[in-house]
Amino acid sequence: MRTQLTWYEEDRSSLREYTTGVSIHGHTSRSRESLGFVKQLFESNALLRAFIQFQNRIAEKRASMKIDLANAYWTPPLCPRTAYELEKGQIEQKLGLRALVSLSDHDSIEAPQLLRVSMSDMPISLEWTGPFRTAKFHLGIHNLPAERAQQWMNDLAAVTRSKSEEQVTEILGALHAEPDVLLVFNHPLWNLHRIPAAEFNQCLEDFLAANNQFLHAF
């Protein structure tokens, strides 16, 4: 398979070959972005670790809320409609192409479901945080069948809770069998939770050995 990368701001001539631009990695205010990696950064630095411990001791004395970065999260600023219009506008105005936008919030299909009220062709998609041993990988799951989308979400949540390698492979195989679903391995080399490099690389290698046959793009 031939692969070609082009930086369009330097070479716009390549755009003449295409009619459509696709956005498949956009988050909205319905996405919960974990701060777990910040917790690991703080724990790896003695000064920051001491700061958190000091703040939590104060919180304990005052019976107030402790800093819990493991369960904390932030949400992107744009509502689903605005995020969609931004992605669509960039493709149409900057590239001059027809736009296809698939919003993929973390472990949530709420945004596309809301947009389907006025846009029946809006794909139902998400970015699933797939567990694999000590690592977590982000998988873009695009264009779930509308009539079974919520059942797929329930099944994905069950696999996340189980953390079973076999169940991860089973559900990816089942999604691959859906004729209109696109599976994309997002930023596969990003060691988000900063586990030891050798350990992460082994997890990635074994994950791909078990599941590469079900992935459609990277």
Taking CA atoms, 149 is separated from 30, 109, 179, in Å, by 17, 8, 14
Token pair, residue 92, equals 């149409």
pLDDT at 3 over 80: no
pLDDT of residue 47: 81
Tens of pLDDT, residue by residue over 132-171, are: 999 999 999 999 999 999 999 999 999 999 999 999 999 9
pLDDT of residue 1: 59
pLDDT at 99 over 80: yes
Q: With bands split at pLDDT 50, 70 and 90, how would you rate the model's confidence at 38?
A: low
Taking CA atoms, 124 is separated from 31, 65, 102, 179, in Å, by 14, 36, 8, 14
Greater confidence (42 vs 104) lies with: 104
Tens of pLDDT, residue by residue over 192-209, are: 888 899 999 999 999 999
pLDDT at 187 over 90: yes
pTM reported for the whole predicted model: 0.84
Q: Where are the domains of the chain?
A: 21-28+81-214
